[in-house]
Amino acid sequence: MDLYLYGKTEEGLTESELREGLEKVLSKAMEKPLHKVLILPPDFTRYHSNAGFITNVCWHYLKDRGVSVDILPALGTHAPVSEDQWKAMFGDIPYEEMLVHDWRNDVMRLGEVPGAYISDLTEGLWTDPVSVEVNRRIMDPSYDLIISPGQVVPHEVIGMSNHAKNIFVGVGGSDMINKSHMVGAVYGMERMMGRDHTPVREIFDYALNTFLADRPILFMLTVTTAPGGVIRTHGLFIGEGRECLEKAVALAQEKNIDFVPHGIRKCVVYLDPSEFKTTWLGNKAVYRTRMAMATGGELVILAPGVTRFGEDETIDGLIRKYGYRGRLATLEAFKKPENGDLRENMGAAAHLIHGSSDGRFTIRYCVKNISREEIEGVGFESADFDEAKELYHLESLVPGVNLIDGEEIYYIPNPALGLWINREAFEG
């Protein structure tokens, strides 16, 4: 059931081309009668993946042919999809069709990835085993097919997102989510971002091949960009094995990595308020630009929708307590016996490491609905969004280099869709 489609122009694949390809694959899948299908799309934080359209096409095609279809968004630790977000992303599929993944309680343990194996992968930086946990529906034998749509794009934890990550993090359990994030943080995101065969990817591959080899999982992977907020799907890669991932990675490296000629002194990143409501998500502005930022530079994050730090009360409290203080400070706090709350939420510890510049450049959050004291209390600089919007002439900025009152500004309208790297440092 493998299918690889590439857009012929920079506009990408048309909806009719995508629909035709999807229906061709689904028709092939139905040669073996399907009675019940589970779809695992990303949540609204991956709106620009075009997985919403793919899910809609699959749902209608299968339902029209008498197949029972369940939709379980791959939330990971994120908040459930709201009704407005659902309609924007999934179209006319009824909101009542949504199942909600509970990463703390609604999972079953399949086994573990051995600590010795992980130690080999990480050069001895991580030696503990990792439990393999998935939502119980993944193992439900009544599902004839599990469809996992989503976007391959540079990612701070794994290198390139999706494929098995959608299973073991998107609908996975706390141990895998927490420890995989810590493995990535300890190993170093700069060593992984934009690459395929990273330690975290190898952990997911091991878990997939060892524990889910017999499950009927079909990956539908996209590579997209979104200039001006308009989704362009440059490739669709469908398959049951790893080849679809490798082809998607190759295209995403071409489409989603931007090399800048030298370190950026001032970078302005805009976070769409419909997508980014927390620093937990908004710190993609940090992850995706840190390899491009000049030492001593300033990252200005225009975040009108950010009203809190974590996606839930537990994580929000941890961020407020420990703050974005840098890798060494976080690891020191992580090791202290009295900080059991941080060790129990390793994903949060990893996030705190990822979200800091380690003092190398300034991070300034420009917000509307959260106080200066709160922002500065977690280790960031603060500014008022409306004032910053006027200062940097937001409405007239174009992606890339701008000259504002004699100052060079590098503008990024959506950090989630790319990775920016200083070519001088990368090649030096």
What pLDDT sits at residue 78?
85
pLDDT at 344: 87
pLDDT band, residue 418 (cuts 50/70/90):
confident
- Average pLDDT over the chain reads 95
Place of tokens 């009108």: 304
Asked if residues 327 and 292 have their Cβ atoms less than 8 Å apart, the reply is no
Question: Rounded to two decimals, what is the model's pTM?
Answer: 0.83
pLDDT at 130: 97
Region 238-251 average pLDDT? 97
Position 307 confidence tier, pLDDT thresholds 50, 70, 90:
very high
More confident call, 327 vs 425: 327
Residue 193: pLDDT band with limits 50, 70, 90 = confident
Give mean pLDDT, residues 28-57: 96
**pLDDT at res. 158:** 94
Q: What pLDDT score does 427 carry? A: 60
Both tokens of 191, joined, read 């060593």
pLDDT digits (tens, 9 = 90+) for 60-82: 999 999 999 999 999 998 889 99
**Other C-beta atoms lying within 10 Å of the C-beta of residue 9:** 9
Q: Contacts from 186-192 at CB under 8 Å and sequence distance 24+? A: 186/122, 186/125, 186/126, 186/331, 187/122, 187/123, 187/125, 187/126, 189/156, 189/157, 189/287, 189/290, 189/354, 190/290, 190/291, 192/156, 192/157, 192/158, 192/159
Domain borders along the chain are: 3-255, 258-427
| Distance, CA of 251 to CA of 152 (rounded, Å) | 9
Distance CA 139, CA 21 (A): 28
Question: β-pairing, 145-151 with 154-155?
Answer: unpaired
Q: Quick check: 309 pLDDT over 90?
A: yes
The whole-number pLDDT of residue 73 equals 97
CA atoms 330, 333, 339, 340: torsion sign: positive
pLDDT per position as a tens digit, 102-131: 998 999 999 999 999 999 999 999 999 999
CATH topology (fold) of 3-255: Rossmann fold (3.40.50)
For residues 159 and 288, the answer to whether their CB atoms sit within 8 Å is no
Closest of 264, 278, 272, 280 to residue 420, by C-alpha: 264
Task: List beta partners, residue 38.
Answer: 70, 146
227 or 3: which carries more pLDDT confidence?
Answer: 3
Is residue 428 predicted with pLDDT exceeding 80? no
**Domain 258-427 part of CATH 3.90.550.10:** no
Q: What is the pLDDT of residue 212?
A: 98
Q: Enter the DSSP assignment of 96.
A: G
